[in-house]
Structure 1
Amino acid sequence: MVSHNGKMTEADVIYSDVKFTKSTGNTTGTAVSPDETIYAEVRKKEAPTELSGSQQQALPKGGSKVTSERVAIAVLSALLAAAAIALGFFSHRNIQTMEEIQKLTAENKNLTGRRCEEKICVQTTCPTPPDGKIPGTCLKCQEGWEKHGGHCYYFSISKSPWNNSREECRRKGGDLVQIDSREEQAFLQLKLREKMDNPEDKFWIGLTDSLVEGNWLWVDGSPLNTSWKFWSVREPDDWTGDDEDGEDCVRMGEKGSTALNTWFDKSCKSAERSICEKSADNGQIKCV
């Protein structure tokens, strides 16, 4: 077969007969006899078959590099998808947590008792309930009593001996005050500074050693806690100048002083003002 340029390609030659002559050492060009002719069969290499276009495309150039890049892209895509799912999950949980906190805060506000005095509500401690809701339970004190914590205090105007003062407090539903903390002592001393007319205008409290000298007991029979005693300087002294029986009851107050040590023993027969105490009543009132 002849190619387009008129030459035969190697792929087209399959077999050819080549005659070789045996040299006789004659250089004169004498003809060689037929029996000296040696035939040799030469077979040409078959040219490699060309691949079709589709087969050539099927063999990618740099195949291993392309495969690695595709694997890396696939792994990266999977990681991004997982990160997106995790972010969405945590965002959802965060929203749920915030909603729960807001719900608990709202419930806590609804459960917080409003601090009321008669028909006055202190907004900082007892907010007005939302419209349509039942007013919350308030700790309240009767008219003439002053509230502190969970107790109500009455500061008398009239003066009477210790026993009479205690009876009056009991008729009012309480008893002479029993001081159980430094904070309560500070509250009472601050109030007395406002109410005392002169340095001797002091108030009975519910502490006495009338049963056994030196054994100070509160009106409920409990002993004086040494951690909460607020005797003034050189007190108690059990002075007998006014009463030969001595001083077996305690009054308190120091006009113009910020000190807490304002207890003085005094004869129980002395006429003094007094401080009554009772627990605040539980009741429902509408704060305005």
Structure 2
Amino acid sequence: MMSRPQSYIEGETDSWHAKSSTGSKVKAERVALLVLCLLLTAAVLIIYRLTFENTKTRESLKKLEELRMKSQNVLTDGSFCKCEEGWEKHGGKCYYFSISKSSWEQSIVDCRAKGGDLVKIDSREEQAFLERRVRQLMKEGEDKFWIGLTDSAVEGRWLWVDGSLLDESLKFWAGKEPNNVTEGDPDGENCVRMGEEFENKDLKCWFDQSCSKPQRSICEKAGVTAT
């Protein structure tokens, strides 16, 4: 029996090793591809789940906000507050945010013609609501709103339009306000406007201003009750 030449055996061995190496490489590539597919599938599932949960969270927050707004408009006797078209309801009251600008005195006339008056702020919660809404409505830094507060009668003695004295615990002056600047008006700044472009956690956005300066305004009146 003739033995195979050494060179033939070595060639056959090399061929076997080459095939084995190629097979191992293909197998490794398939495993890597499978792992990649699994990772991509897992990533898609995670993204889908996060998107789904985020959507549910937004829907839950929307429902909570609706319930909060609804609860704020339920009066103590269980009835609901309703407002005329163009007025916004909050806490049993209705608010009108004017588009046109006028002096402080003319703003009072306009509000009373609508059955209300320039707003009187009775609580921190009311100030928070107004601060947020005004910030949303402002188009520029000087686009502020008159409120019903003045010291026209006696300098430094701040009174609301109903004649009540400003509560010391409910003052929301911005920075070094009130400063009663007389530049532009020798009578000084005797009326109050509110508004800041950026959120202020302390809600301090009141500024004294010349009463004759045209500004937007906030009217307020009691809501109509309905069971």
Instruction: Report the TM-score range of the alignment, normalised by the length of the smaller protein.
Output: 0.5 to 0.7
1:227 to 169, 174, 178: 169
The gaps in structure 1 that reach 5 residues or longer are: 1-121, 127-135
CA distance in 1, matches of 2:149, 2:210: 12
The aligned counterpart of 2:190 is 248
Query: What secondary structure sits across from 1:226 in the alignment?
Result: coil
- Secondary structure at the aligned position of 1:274 is classed as strand
Return the offset for 1:193.
1.1
Relative contact order higher in (CA < 8 Å, ≥ 6 apart): 2
Give the superposition deviation at 1:246.
Answer: 0.2
Which secondary structure state, in structure 1, belongs to the residue aligned with residue 199 of structure 2?
Answer: coil
Aligned to 1:169: 111
Residue of structure 2 equivalent to 1:264: 207
Range with greater deviation from structure 2 (252-261 or 168-177): 252-261
Letter in 2 for 1:189: E
Question: 2:223 matched to 1:280?
Answer: yes
Matches within 5 A, 1:85-104: none
For residues 224 and 123 of structure 1, do their structure 2 counterparts lie closer, same or farther at Cα, with a shift above 3 Å needed?
closer
Q: Does 1:211 align with 2:153?
A: yes
SS at match of 1:228: coil
Secondary structure in 2 matching 1:147: strand
1:181 and 2:123 equivalent?
yes
Partner Cα separation in structure 1 for residue 80 and residue 174 of structure 2: 37
Which of these residues, 132, 136, 140, is aligned with residue 198 of structure 1?
Answer: 140
The residue that corresponds to 2:88 in the other structure is 146
Q: How far 1:137 moved relative to its partner?
A: 4.2
Q: Which amino acid aligns with 2:108?
A: R
For the residues of structure 2 that align with 1:175 and 1:160, how far apart are their CA atoms? Answer: 14
Q: Which runs of 5+ in 2 are unaligned?
A: 1-65, 72-77
User: Which deviations, in whole Å up to 9, do the C-alpha atoms of 1:26-57 show, x marking residues without a partner?
Assistant: xxxxxxxxxxxxxxxxxxxxxxxxxxxxxxxx
d(CA) in 2 for partners of 1:235, 1:279: 30
SS at match of 2:102: coil
Q: What is the rounded CA distance, in whole Å, between the counterparts of 2:88 and 2:159 in structure 1?
A: 25
SS in 2 for 1:227: coil
Query: Larger Rg: 1 or 2?
Result: 1
Displacement, 1:256? 1.9
Which segment is superposed worse, 252-261 or 139-148?
252-261
Asked if 1:236 corresponds to 2:174, the answer is no
Assess, with a 3 A threshold, how the Cα gap between structure 1 residues 251 and 281 changes in structure 2: closer, same or farther. Answer: same
CA distance in structure 2 between the aligned counterparts of 1:250 and 1:177, rounded to whole angstroms? 11
Deviation of the 1:241 alpha carbon: 0.7
Task: Name the structure with the higher helix share.
Answer: 2
1:123 offset after TM fit, Å?
6.4
Cα distance, 1:257 vs. partner? 2.2
Identity fraction in percent? 60
Which secondary structure state, in structure 2, belongs to the residue aligned with residue 191 of structure 1?
A: helix
Write out per-residue CA displacement over residues 151-209 of structure 1, whole angstroms, 9 at most, x where no aligned residue: 11000000000000011000111100000111111100100111000010000000000
